[in-house]
Amino acid sequence: MKPILIAVALALTLGAGPSIAGNGHCPPGLAKKSPACVPPGLAKKGLRAAPGDYVTDYDYHRIRYPDRYDLPPLRAGERYYVVDGRIYRVNSETYEILDFIRATAALLD
């Protein structure tokens, strides 16, 4: 066997080959991400919005008439948004999610 082929076979046997997330290995750059081992383009898909996230990262709808949802009055600089069927209190300048309020079955605006 040629020396190059022996080196490649040995490297693959010892696990020095490329890391593949699908077989239980995670590339070092993705291991430090949150969620771990999930590429950036897939990180938000299927996950619920949470305080600290930004509404602009999701498909959202602004609630213009909070009284239709029996929501408490907002403080200055806040708005309500619906993201994936859930109502959130959001900072109106930064669009940062401040609080999860509750789930909703329909949009009433």
pLDDT by residue, tens only, the chain of 109 residues = 455 545 445 455 554 444 444 445 667 776 666 666 655 554 555 568 889 999 988 889 999 999 999 999 999 999 999 998 999 999 999 999 999 999 988 878 7
Centre a 10 Å sphere on the Cβ of residue 34 and count the other Cβ atoms it contains.
6
End-to-end, the C-alpha distance of the chain in Å comes to 73
Query: What pLDDT score was predicted for residue 92?
Result: 95
- Residue 57, SS3? helix
Query: What pLDDT score was predicted for residue 38?
Result: 59
Judge contact between 60 and 50, C-beta under 8 A. Answer: no
DSSP state of 97: E
Query: What pLDDT score was predicted for residue 34?
Result: 60
Return d(Cα 15, Cα 12) in angstroms, integer.
Answer: 5
